[in-house]
Amino acid sequence: MDFRRRIIITGGAGFIGSHVVRLFVNKYPDYQIINLDKLTYAGNLANLKDIESAPNYVFEKADICDFDKMLELFRKYNVDGIIHLAAESHVDRSIKDPFTFAQTNVMGTLSLLQAAKLYWESLPEKYEGKRFYHISTDEVYGALEMTHPEGVEAPFTTVASTGKNHCAYGEEFFVETTKYNPHSPYSASKASSDHFVRAFHDTYGMPTIVTNCSNNYGPYQFPEKLIPLFINNIRHRKPLPVYGKGENVRDWLYVVDHARAIDTIFHNGKVAETYNIGGFNEWKNIDIIKVVINTVDRLLGRKEGEDLDLITYVTDRLGHDARYAIDSRKLQAELGWEPSLQFEEGIEKTVRWYLDNEEWLENVTSGDYQKYYDNMYKGR
């Protein structure tokens, strides 16, 4: 079959990537979607069970750091677009093992950029109609201060600087021109990869786009991250390790809304631009944890709040950023994207999904999910 476009999505077996792959495979039957993933501990092909037989979907097990393989795949599929999500993504792992983060996030991105450059520059039309879209994080901007008075409870209505009604713990937000100031090895590696992507635009004229998104939550997230880890622990009545005092603030976006934003930006975003993606939805960790506990308890038929005593304050994460808050008004005004879900609805859907998908969680926590590739793909 002749496809209208041929797009590599890296990290498509991971949390956000699997939602992006699903959206593109279903929405664009005339695009060929190539899911390129190394299947590290975070990659799980069971995340894509529902679309794995679609005629416009292909899976390629490969390491983005393998430059020769990247070039081979660009040629094999005559790729005209790349949406790059593959990365090491967990801050706590980056504190223990920064080398892997530099290798995958920096060198892997560079190897993809160089493969795209060599392949696209070899074509008669060169960069015409091509796109290299790099997915980054708000963590590259560093940390914001909490300037709202102590003792005032979120959600605050109407923040003066944005004129919007939303939860916020300060007047300052990350905008697209905020200076990079990463603190963790994870965010330092993402910042470095963002710089390489922009350098390939400025030096070679590659049509690149970078987006920086806030914390995502939703189905298929690896249960080492706050929300799925805590849902799983509450279910099994295991302690909930809250770092420090639980006062740190994160800005949460439902993962499907991130995937929708990626679709909009891939198609309509301006080359060389940066867009911030976020839902104006800040929460202190301790508050979100209480919402999660109450939701799990209610959905399991337990007495609401019964599991609050699982909260266990533990030593703080090293270099723990105080507050992240994204101003996504540029994306909303220029490209018309808006989050589709209110947080209350999103968290209810999320908790329900993890409780309904016990087998997925058990496979992931036991390590059995890594056999999925052998059963489904090896020898094909």
Q: Give me the active site residues, please.
A: 138-139, 186
- Please give the residue whose beta carbon sits closest to ligand NAD in the complex: 14
Distance CA 366, CA 380 (A): 26
**Contacts to ligand NAD from residues 24-43, by CB under 6 A:** 37-40, 42-43
Which residue's CB is nearer to ligand NAD, number 135 or number 231?
Answer: 135
CB atoms inside a 10 Å sphere around CB 274: 21
Distance CA 335, CA 330 (A): 8
Q: Write down the least CB distance from residue 361 to ligand NAD, Å.
A: 15
Q: Can residue 112 be called a binding residue for ligand NAD (CB under 6 A)?
A: no
| Contact residues for 97 (Cβ-Cβ < 8 A; gap 6+) | none
* Spatial contact of 257 and 326, defined as CB atoms under 8 Å apart: no
What angle do helix axes 226-235 and 358-366 make, rounded to 10 degrees? 100
Q: Write down the least CB distance from residue 13 to ligand NAD, Å.
A: 4
Q: 332-337 long-range contacts, Cβ below 8 Å, gap at least 24?
A: 334/270, 334/275, 335/264, 335/265, 335/268, 335/269, 335/275, 336/264, 337/260, 337/261, 337/264, 337/265, 337/277
φ, ψ (nearest 5 deg) of residue 53: -100, 5
Q: Can residue 14 be called a binding residue for ligand NAD (CB under 6 A)?
A: yes
Q: Can residue 279 be called a binding residue for ligand NAD (CB under 6 A)?
A: no
> Which partner from the list ligand TYD, ligand NAD, none does 38 bind, CB cut-off 5 to 8 Å by kind?
ligand NAD
Determine the 3-state secondary structure of 53 from DSSP. Answer: coil
Q: What share of the chain is helix, strand, coil (3-state, %, to 5)?
A: 45, 15, 40
Residues 184-223: x where in contact with ligand NAD by CB under 6 A, - otherwise, as a string: ------x----------------------x-xx-----x-
Which residue's CB is nearer to ligand TYD, number 62 or number 226?
Answer: 226
| Contact residues for 118 (Cβ-Cβ < 8 A; gap 6+) | 71, 74
Q: Can residue 364 be called a binding residue for ligand NAD (CB under 6 A)?
A: no
Residues 306-325: x where in contact with ligand NAD by CB under 6 A, - otherwise, as a string: --------------------
> Which partner from the list ligand TYD, ligand NAD, none does 242 bind, CB cut-off 5 to 8 Å by kind?
ligand TYD
Binding footprint of ligand TYD on the chain (CB under 6 A): 91, 215, 225-226, 229, 241-243, 248, 250, 285, 317
Which residue's CB is nearer to ligand NAD, number 38 or number 307?
Answer: 38
Stretch that binds ligand NAD, among 11-19, 140-148, 268-276, 302-310 (CB under 6 A): 11-19
